[in-house]
Amino acid sequence: MHEITLCDVGPRDGLQSEKRMFSVAERIELIDRLSAAKVPVIEAVSFVNPKKVPQMAEPEQVLAGIQR
């Protein structure tokens, strides 16, 4: 039998293309909700230049705030 692992990239890849800026708290909530939904793998942040990709600013704060 083959195994499939679901990986959600929304908090990292999905938010990069959004025009709206999501706060650190909103990003943490999104990640925590995905975790609560039992998503096994979540790509939470991206360590990129915030001047080039402002949607991914403050990844350390996001990671520090994740509860699950």
Beta strands per DSSP E along 1-68: 7-8, 41-42
CB 61 within 8 A of CB 27: no
pTM across the whole model: 0.90
pLDDT attached to residue 68: 76
Mean pLDDT along residues 13-29: 94
Q: What percent of the chain has a predicted confidence (pLDDT) above 70?
A: 100
Percentage of residues in the chain having pLDDT higher than 90: 91
| Ranges of each domain in the chain | 7-65
Tens of pLDDT, residues 31-59: 999 999 999 999 999 999 999 999 999 99
Name all contacts of 47-55 with Cβ < 8 Å and 24+ positions apart: 53/16, 54/21, 55/15, 55/16, 55/18, 55/21, 55/22
